[in-house]
């Protein structure tokens, strides 16, 4: 079955450590996105990539980094520079065309700093 997979579902990090969240899709989608969701809040865009080896900052990119070496994969690193990293992180992908495109989400990763 085609889909988008995030791992792990739950992640605990000590303060000062970097941590990488995985996002893999087998939908052959060109574009991939990372969002952050805080309790009771909407989705805020961290980074997005519309093609391999290219990505753009979203609205809250500070303290995060990404790479897009393969079409299927868009890992997100939460660095120690992110002051408040505890949140629910969602990855999404779209075909990338202007028309007739849909976005699908992974199940999310809940990151907690301890």
Partner 1 sequence: GQQLNQSPQSMFIQEGEDVSMNCTSSSIFNTWLWYKQDPGEGPVLLIALYKAGELTSNGRLTAQFGITRKDSFLNISASIPSDVGIYFCAGIGGATNKLIFGTGTLLAVQP
Q: Tell me the C-alpha distance between 57 and 65, whole Å.
A: 9
Three-class secondary structure of residue 58 per DSSP? coil
CB of 14 to partner 1, least distance (A): 23
CB of 16 to partner 1, least distance (A): 27
Contact between residue 56 and residue 49 where contact means Cβ atoms under 8 Å apart: yes
Q: Which is nearer to partner 1, 16 or 100 (CB)?
A: 100
CB of 102 to partner 1, least distance (A): 5
Nearest CA-CA partner of 68 in 85, 50, 53, 57: 53
Q: Which is nearer to partner 1, 3 or 81 (CB)?
A: 3
| Binding range to partner 1, per CB under 8 A, among 11-19, 62-70, 71-79, 91-99 | 91-99
Establish if 8 lies at the interface with partner 1 (CB under 8 A).
Answer: no
CB of 1 to partner 1, least distance (A): 15
> How is residue 74 written in tokens?
């868009």
| Residue 104: burial class (beta carbons within 10 Å; 0-12, 13-18, 19+) | middle
Q: Tell me the C-alpha distance between 88 and 112, whole Å.
A: 9
| Positions that interact with partner 1 (CB under 8 A) | 6, 31, 33, 35, 40-45, 48, 50, 56, 58-60, 88, 90, 92, 94, 96, 98-108, 110
């Amino acid at each position: 079955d085609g889909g988008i997979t995030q791992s792990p579902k739950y992640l605990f990090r000590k303060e000062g450590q970097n941590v990488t969240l995985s996002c893999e899709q087998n939908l052959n989608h060109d574009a991939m996105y990372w969002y952050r969701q805080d309790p009771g809040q909407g989705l805020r865009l961290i980074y997005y990539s519309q093609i391999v080896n290219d990505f753009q900052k979203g609205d809250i990119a500070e303290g995060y980094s990404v790479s897009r070496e393969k079409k299927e994969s868009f890992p997100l690193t939460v660095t120690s520079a992110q002051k408040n990293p505890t949140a629910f992180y969602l990855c999404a992908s779209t075909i990338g065309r202007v028309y007739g495109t849909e976005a699908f989400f992974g199940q999310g990763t809940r990151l907690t700093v301890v």
